[in-house]
Amino acid sequence: MNASTLGLWSRPDLREAVAAEDWGAVLRIYRKAAGLSQTKVGELIGLVQPDVSDIERGRRRVTSVEVRQRITDGLSIPPELHAGAEASTPPPVASLVLPGPGPDDDLLSRLTSATQSRVKVDAPTLDWLDRLLAEHRSAEDRIGSRPMVGVMRQQLTTVVDLYGSARGPLADRVVRLASEHAQFLAWMAQDQAQTPAALAWYDRSHEWALEAGDANMAATTLSMKAHMAWSGGRGDRAVRLAEAARWSAPGASLGVQGMAAQMAARGHALNRDGDDAHRLLDEAQGLISRASERPEDEPAWMYFYGETWFELQRGMIAMHLNDWSAAVGHLTTGLAALEPTYLRDRTWYGACLAHAYAGDGESARALLTALPLIPDAATIGRPHSWNELHKTAAVLMRAGAKEGRQLVDALTPFD
């Protein structure tokens, strides 16, 4: 018995649940419409009945890519309904949509004519697109990825459309720009836990980077794949991809090499290899410190790496090594210096700090740190910050601390 024979996937409520990635509603609606038990649904998707019950009731959140894939495959969800499938392919041709103040009239006219009439592309147009991408990266730090995806998909379409009119060195610049846009889309998909889409965009970005001869972006895409492996709990793969980022792109800048070294450090920390984790993080910090002496040699996307960022990374590594006191110290220092407008990152590292307090037995501090983060975690911080707050609640509950139930009660209205 499957959805295609029952015609279930024509149901608006089921389609809406898939689009929203509300897996509890997907399982509940599918099961009741198909007349199946929780045990039978569990057999279809490779989970036991208590797990199905917990997901349906919202007691367990589906954050694992593997579990989402089991649900997708087991229930025969049509690919066109799944958000990751749509996001993994380049968008159709569309006009450029500007999120705020646009370019001067001359540049806007030049860009419009280039995309519509295939006239010769010029350097000022590409310079403007470079600046616009930099502004979008900065905006994403402040407001999160969700509002940016549609704009960036349309902007990438514009860049790709310019390629047919570009000649000589300008054509190389267009390919490089396309690679940078694809990498940014990959990062935003990754930020929203759309792993298949992120991998597809990183692959596209890497291919275009190689075509353009851009060693920095080629290495960066591999480093970000290492970051995805780390996020998924795969330490060995994170280390291998980070190492590949270094040996496969020998022309990469010092900063980009430092990015790869710190990604490898994360993988080692995940594997509880503290010596290699600390050694590589020290090496990464040294490389990026040297890079700061010649910022003109670094690509635009390296703006975020600095002393504050490394302080926060030391906190993350300490968490992996269960050195909770050190984690609290590093994260507290890093958050105090983090740009106030970086709401997404302040929410994420704040949630990690709450977790570290809970791990260190500081239940009251954990709750006090977590509660103010909930509104932002529920909006710009989903799924990562939100999941981290739930992990904090679970640590407190296992310790028998009353603050665990208080945090759960505070989170529940937003679930």
Indicate whether 18 and 68 sit together in one domain.
yes
CA distance 409 to 407: 5
| pTM of the model as a whole | 0.69
Instruction: Tell me if 383 is assigned to some domain.
Output: yes
| pLDDT tens digits in sequence order for the chain, 415 residues long | 444 434 677 788 888 888 778 888 889 988 888 888 888 888 788 777 777 888 888 877 777 666 777 788 788 888 767 644 334 343 332 332 323 333 344 444 444 444 444 445 788 888 888 888 988 888 888 788 888 888 888 888 888 778 777 788 888 898 999 999 999 998 988 888 888 888 888 888 998 899 889 999 999 999 999 999 998 889 999 999 999 999 988 889 999 999 999 999 999 999 999 999 999 999 999 999 999 888 889 998 888 778 898 999 999 999 999 999 999 999 999 999 998 888 889 999 999 999 999 999 999 999 999 999 999 998 887 788 998 999 999 999 999 999 999 999 999 888 7
- pLDDT at position 17: 83
Domain stops at, among 17, 51, 81: 81
Structural contact between residues 4 and 76, judged by C-beta atoms closer than 8 angstroms? yes
Residue 130: Cβ within 10 Å count: 15
Straight-line distance from the first to the last Cα atom of the chain, in angstroms, rounded to the nearest whole number: 31
Q: Is 304 exposed, middle or buried (0-12, 13-18, 19+ CB in 10 A)?
A: middle
Indicate whether 296 and 339 sit together in one domain.
no
Closest CA to 195 of 65, 91, 85, 68: 65
Indicate whether 282 and 246 sit together in one domain.
yes
Indicate whether 118 and 77 sit together in one domain.
no
CA distance 18 to 15: 5
Indicate whether 38 and 95 sit together in one domain.
no
Instruction: Tell me if 315 is assigned to some domain.
Output: no
Question: What is the Cα gyration radius of the chain?
Answer: 23
φ, ψ of residue 76 to 5 degrees: the values are 55, 45
Indicate whether 162 and 221 sit together in one domain.
no
CA distance 257 to 279: 15
Distances (CA, A) of 49 to 29, 56, 75, 89, 108: 16, 11, 15, 35, 58
Instruction: Tell me if 314 is assigned to some domain.
Output: no
Structural contact between residues 253 and 217, judged by C-beta atoms closer than 8 angstroms? no
CA distance 17 to 384: 20
CA distance 407 to 124: 53
Instruction: Tell me if 204 is assigned to some domain.
Output: no
CA distance 319 to 325: 9
Six-digit token string for 94: 């569309």
Distances (CA, A) of 304 to 182, 300, 342: 19, 9, 11
Number of domains in the chain: 4
Q: Is 404 exposed, middle or buried (0-12, 13-18, 19+ CB in 10 A)?
A: buried
Which residue type, as a one-letter code, is found at position 353?
Answer: L
Instruction: Tell me if 112 is assigned to some domain.
Output: yes
- pLDDT at position 181: 92
Indicate whether 243 and 285 sit together in one domain.
yes
Domain stops at, among 30, 60, 81: 81
Instruction: Tell me if 206 is assigned to some domain.
Output: no
- pLDDT at position 379: 85
- pLDDT at position 139: 84
For tokens 């989170």, name the residue.
Answer: 411
| Residue count of the chain | 415
Indicate whether 123 and 165 sit together in one domain.
yes
Structural contact between residues 415 and 383, judged by C-beta atoms closer than 8 angstroms? no
- pLDDT at position 270: 93
Domain stops at, among 81, 107, 142: 81
φ, ψ of residue 372 to 5 degrees: the values are -65, -15
Six-digit token string for 188: 């935003």
Task: Kindly compute the dihedral angle of the four CA atoms of residues 133, 139, 143, 148, in this order, to the nearest 10 degrees.
Answer: -20
Structural contact between residues 315 and 356, judged by C-beta atoms closer than 8 angstroms? yes
- pLDDT at position 110: 43
- pLDDT at position 302: 86
Indicate whether 229 and 284 sit together in one domain.
yes
Indicate whether 59 and 101 sit together in one domain.
no
Indicate whether 114 and 164 sit together in one domain.
yes
Structural contact between residues 215 and 223, judged by C-beta atoms closer than 8 angstroms? no
Indicate whether 117 and 150 sit together in one domain.
yes
Instruction: Tell me if 338 is assigned to some domain.
Output: yes
CA distance 363 to 354: 9
Structural domain of 383: 322-415
Instruction: Tell me if 209 is assigned to some domain.
Output: no
383 upstream amide cis, omega within 30 of 0 = yes
Instruction: Identify the CATH number of the domain in which residue 74 sits.
Output: 1.10.260.40
- pLDDT at position 47: 73
Which residues, other chains included, contact 399 with Cβ-Cβ below 8 Å and sequence gap of 6+?
358, 361, 363
